Structure 1
Amino acid sequence: MGIMTREDAPVRTTPHLLIESRGPWAGASCGAFVRDASTLAGSGHPVQLVLVQDAVTAAVRGTAEDSAEVRALVEAGGEVWVDDFSLAQRGLAADRLIPEARVVGMPEVSARVLAPGVRVVWH
């Protein structure tokens, strides 16, 4: 058995579920939260960013395409999940979302929240 160098050591990744409830116009903290998700994804961690309530507007085409934070998250390998109920409450159809967005229901989000080892952060 040889000596493992730091480069040979397996990288331990932790799945993260980040839930954003505020819209893009709500202030700089929303963009910072999405940048945190991008950093985690870029470091090799599985990341799902769940957009609920007013945050669903961040995945609307035109809005999201202009958002460097959402674009960086997708490019880093993160997933963008959009709450179906929040979309319906705002009269938004799924076909208005960026192609990378995935519409999900609360049963799927709840299952992910309860999955072993997943770190959940709600903003």
Structure 2
Amino acid sequence: MSDAEIGRVCEAWGVQSLPGRYREFLSLAGRGAGGILRGTDAFFPEILDMRRATDDFFADNPGGIDLPDGAVVFAMHQGYQVYWMDSISVEDPPVSLYMEREKSPMIRWGSFLEFLNSECENSC
């Protein structure tokens, strides 16, 4: 993706900047990454609508949890799972995978890079 397209993501999400590791991912694989995250809305241009999709997801999540303060959803799988970065102010933020109606995230990774490595191991 180009810097201008990444800027469109920031604008659509209402943020000033993105974590460095995530920005690097977008610049290299923002339009698709082979088998990684296949079937998941995690790529441009679908991610431009992520803020609205996130609002809908958590509004329709009775008995579940709320998105933690400061967290940003960057991917959604089939409408029932979301991936979020705990904070966009960290270079390589922790990532959580949450499935609707659960009481806590299913999986947590210590960083965005750790998340990508895990996805690659499972998909490549």
Shorter-normalised TM-score: what interval? under 0.3
- Relative contact order: is structure 1 or structure 2 higher (C-alpha 8 Å, sep ≥ 6)? 1
* TM-score normalised by the chain length of structure 1: 0.25
Q: State the structure with more CA Rg.
A: 1
* TM-score normalised by the chain length of structure 2: 0.25
